[in-house]
Amino acid sequence: MNSLQRQKDLPQIIFSLMFIVLMLVACFWVVQPFILGFAWASMVVIATWPLMVRLQGWLWGRRSLAVLVMTLLLLLLFIIPIALLVNSLIDNSRPLIAWATSGHLTPPTLDWLRRLPLVGEKLWNAWHNLLAGGGSAALAKAQPYIGRTTGFFFAQAGHFGRFIMHLGLMLLFSILLFWRGEQVGMGIRHFAWRLGGRRGDAAVVLAGQAVRAVALGVVVTALVQGVLGGIGLAISGIPYATLLTVLMILFCLVQLGPLPVLIPAIIWLYWSGDTTWGTVLLVWSCVVGTLDNVLRPVLIRMGADLPMILILSGVIGGLIAFGMIGLFIGPVVLAVSYRLLSVWMHETPLPPPAQDGDVLSAAPPPPR
């Protein structure tokens, strides 16, 4: 009788699962246009929540005033600068493409090399021998490809319109999350506790710490390096300094640093004969290029006590796998997996020491 009852319940279970999957797919289909904006808002709110709580304490405990101030800060420090940078990127694309395809790309003579003591004459002769051996012809052949590559890069600026729309959604969702952050956070922790008990709740808390660590250690460091590098470019008289600043920030986010932009700028200054500003930018680039070695570890430790290699690997892998939002998804996935694996391993004691003669216990031979 029990066996017959189980057989009757099997279709019910199958159809119940099918209905649940159908509802999940339908819900995803409905909210799909808002996922990216909500994800960005979640990252921003998690990263800036301590600041919002502190502002609320300063503003007589009124949440409405704190949310208003945070909204203005997001507009002034995040959304408006990004919109201006995108607009500058689009405006500067046409003259840059025209310059790259104009046919005026000729190698410099570098006459200032002759003024260098001891090795100047030799370097000048070596440079002109290189040009005489086909350097100018190679540059002329590469010029059409430079123009095509530049045009393709700036053609992608049309996709930023959709990005601006997601910024607007991010601002709206950020306001809602700032207003009801405690309730949303408790609901997520309640769901995680229902799924995995204490471990599920710890995973959610760790995910928030990882997001804050990335926001402080990676994003803030990239912004500081990019802005300082852009200031050096603007003061040195480098054209398209705003565009190059955006490029530096992107390079810093993917952990390449600002030097891939600053070094060509220094070479261009020396190339054009402006050795004074080239030297100034060289010294400034040394300071900006090494700033992350000091600033990033301190900021990451303020967000979460996680291995730095874990955070940086998650940033790079997340960017490759998911795009810009992967900047936060990658470290969160690695951090939660690392901590869960660590807790699972430490539930059992360490193994006993290996026996003598075992390859794991064999001591290395003394140095000769």
Residue 10 within any structural domain of the chain: no
Instruction: Look at residues 107, 104, 103 and name the one whose alpha carbon lies nearest to residue 135.
Output: 107
| Count: domains in the chain | 2
Q: Which domain holds residue 154?
A: 34-179
Residues 136 and 191 in one domain: no
Separation CA 87–CA 93 (nearest Å)? 10
Q: Are 340 and 204 in contact (CB under 8 A)?
A: no
Residue 19 within any structural domain of the chain: no
Residue 63 within any structural domain of the chain: yes
Separation CA 258–CA 244 (nearest Å)? 10
Residue 365 within any structural domain of the chain: no
Q: Which residue, of 179, 211, 226, is where some domain finishes?
A: 179
Q: Are 332 and 195 in contact (CB under 8 A)?
A: no
Instruction: Look at residues 80, 100, 77, 85 and name the one whose alpha carbon lies nearest to residue 149.
Output: 100
Residues 87 and 205 in one domain: no
Residues 161 and 226 in one domain: no
Residues 112 and 249 in one domain: no
Residues 240 and 315 in one domain: yes
Residue 306 within any structural domain of the chain: yes
Residues 170 and 270 in one domain: no
Separation CA 46–CA 174 (nearest Å)? 10
Site of tokens 């054209």: 239
Separation CA 182–CA 64 (nearest Å)? 14
What residues contact residue 99 under an 8 Å CB cut-off, 6+ apart?
Answer: none
Residues 155 and 101 in one domain: yes
Q: Is the pLDDT of residue 240 over 90?
A: no
Q: Quote the pLDDT of residue 150.
A: 46
Residue 18 within any structural domain of the chain: no
Q: Quote the pLDDT of residue 110.
A: 63
- The per-residue pLDDT of the chain, averaged, comes to 77
Q: Which residue, of 130, 164, 179, is where some domain finishes?
A: 179
pLDDT tens profile 271-290:
787 888 888 999 999 999 88
Question: To the nearest 10°, the Cα dihedral for 50, 54, 55, 56?
Answer: 100
Residue 15's identity, in one-letter code, is F
Residue 244 within any structural domain of the chain: yes
Q: Quote the pLDDT of residue 98.
A: 56
pLDDT tens profile 211-220:
888 887 888 8
Residue 303 within any structural domain of the chain: yes
pLDDT tens profile 99-155:
555 555 555 666 666 666 666 777 777 766 766 654 444 444 444 444 444 444 444
pLDDT tens profile 288-341:
988 888 888 888 777 666 777 887 788 888 878 877 677 777 887 888 788 778
- What number of CA atoms fall less than 13 Å from residue 79's CA on the CB side? 21
Residues 57 and 155 in one domain: yes
Residues 108 and 244 in one domain: no
**More reliable by pLDDT, 171 or 196:** 171
Residues 136 and 190 in one domain: no
Separation CA 185–CA 42 (nearest Å)? 10
